[in-house]
Amino acid sequence: MNKLSLPFWQGKRVLVTGHTGFKGCWLTLWLQRLGAEVTGVALAPNTHPNLFTLANVSNNLKSYECDIRDAYKVSRAIQKSKPEIVFHLAAQSLVRASYRDPLATYATNIQGTANVLDSLRGLEQARVVVAITTDKVYRNLEQPYPYRETDHLGGHDPYSASKAAAELVVASYRDAFLEEQGVAVATARAGNVIGGGDWAEDRLLPDAARAWSAGQPLYIRRPESVRPWQHVLEPLSAYMRLAEQLYVEPQKAGAYNFGPLPHDAATVEDVITQACKSFGSGEIEWGDGRAGPHEANWLALETAKARTILGIEPNWELVQAVDYTMNWYRRQLAGESAQALCLENITAYESQ
Q: How far is CA 240 from CA 214, 269, 288, 303, in A?
A: 37, 31, 39, 16
pLDDT for the residue numbered 3: 81
pLDDT in the model for residue 199: 93
**Which H/E stretch holds residue 185?**
strand 184-190
% of residues, the chain, pLDDT over 90: 86
Contact 163, 134 (CB under 8 A): yes
**What whole-number distance in Å separates Cα of residue 301 and Cα of residue 299?**
7
pLDDT digits (tens, 9 = 90+) for 212-221: 999 999 999 8
Tens of pLDDT along 217-238?
999 988 998 889 999 999 999 9
Q: What is the largest CA-CA distance in the chain?
A: 57
Torsion of CA 195, 337, 219, 47, to 10 degrees: -90
The fraction of the chain above a pLDDT of 70, given in percent, is 97
Residue 144 pLDDT > 90 = no
Q: b/e per residue, 329-350, with b = 16+ CB within 10 A?
A: bbbbeeeeebbebbebbbeebb
Task: Report yes or no: 26 and 233 within 8 Å, Cβ to Cβ.
Answer: yes
283, pLDDT greater than 90: yes
pTM of the model: 0.95
27-48: b (≥16 Cβ within 10 Å) or e: bbbbbbbbebbbbbbbeebebe
Q: How confident is the model at residue 202 (pLDDT cuts 50, 70, 90)?
A: confident
Quick one: pLDDT band at residue 264, thresholds 50, 70, 90? confident
Contact 15, 37 (CB under 8 A): no
Contacts of 83 (CB under 8 A, 6+ apart): 13, 14, 15, 39, 123, 125, 126
Compute the mean pLDDT over every residue in the chain, rounded to the nearest whole number: 94
What letter does residue 259 receive in the DSSP assignment? S
Q: Given this model, what pLDDT does residue 2 score?
A: 65
What tens digit of pLDDT does each residue of 292-322 get? 666 667 888 999 999 999 999 999 999 999 9
**Ordered alpha helix ranges (H), the chain:** 6-9, 22-33, 51-54, 71-81, 95-100, 102-106, 112-118, 158-173, 179-181, 204-213, 233-248, 268-279, 304-305, 318-333, 338-350
Rounded CA separation 44/162 (Å): 22
How confident is the model at residue 292, as a pLDDT?
A: 65
* Phi, psi of 256, deg, nearest 5: -135, 135
Half-sphere CA count of 91, side-chain side, radius 13 A: 26
- For the segment 58-79, what is each residue's pLDDT rounded down to a tens digit? 998 999 999 999 999 999 999 9
Report the distance separating Cα 196 and Cα 338, nearest Å.
Answer: 9
| pLDDT at residue 1 greater than cutoff 60 | no
Dist CA 74 CA 51 (whole Å): 23
